[in-house]
A = this chain, B = another copy of it.
Amino acid sequence: MVQPDETASALVASRSRRGRKREPVTGVDYGPLAGWLGFHLRLAQIASFQAFANEAQEIDLSPGRFALLMLIGRNPGISQTTLSRAHGSDKSTLTPALSDLKRRGLITRGRLKSDRRSYQLALTPAGHQLLARLTVCATRHDRHLDRIIGSRDRARFLQLLRKLHTELG
């Protein structure tokens, strides 16, 4: 799942993000792929990503960056390494992402006195504000997913996803 993450003019969606057509392909033999969880996990993830990007079209920030903001907002003072683990991406990936967020004035990075190797991340007021706006989009998006999954299966579904993540670790 990778999505362009235009760094252009901060809060303004510049490119069109309508999302491409993703009709279920007919007449193709998927073979064993059709029954494999991993394959469908991937397709579902891509679709969800795309849908979120649509939902948050007016805000120029990818789902990944959004998760970053949320984690920092909820855990002020968190270090980059902890953040990278919680976020599920490599610490080296965070370096450019965080300097971008800093450049946009959304986060602060202070050196920690007691351990001068690590940083302390926190949101600026602008960061909090953007986080709030994004949270609205994300909530709407997740309600969309909820409607598809159905309230009866939702909890179980979520639990299974979580189980996959933790037990494969």
Contacts and interface: CB of A to CB of B under 8 A. Distances in A.
Q: Is the interface of A mostly helix, strand, loop or mixed?
A: helix
Contacts of A153: 156, 160
Give the interface size bracket for A toward B.
35 or more
Contact of A168 (B48, B74, B168): B48
Given A38-B52, A74-B30, A75-B28, A47 B164 contact: yes
A33 B67 contact: yes
A45 B47 contact: no
A96 interface: no
Contacts of A167: 148
Interface string A66-79: 01001101110010
A54 to B, nearest CB: 9
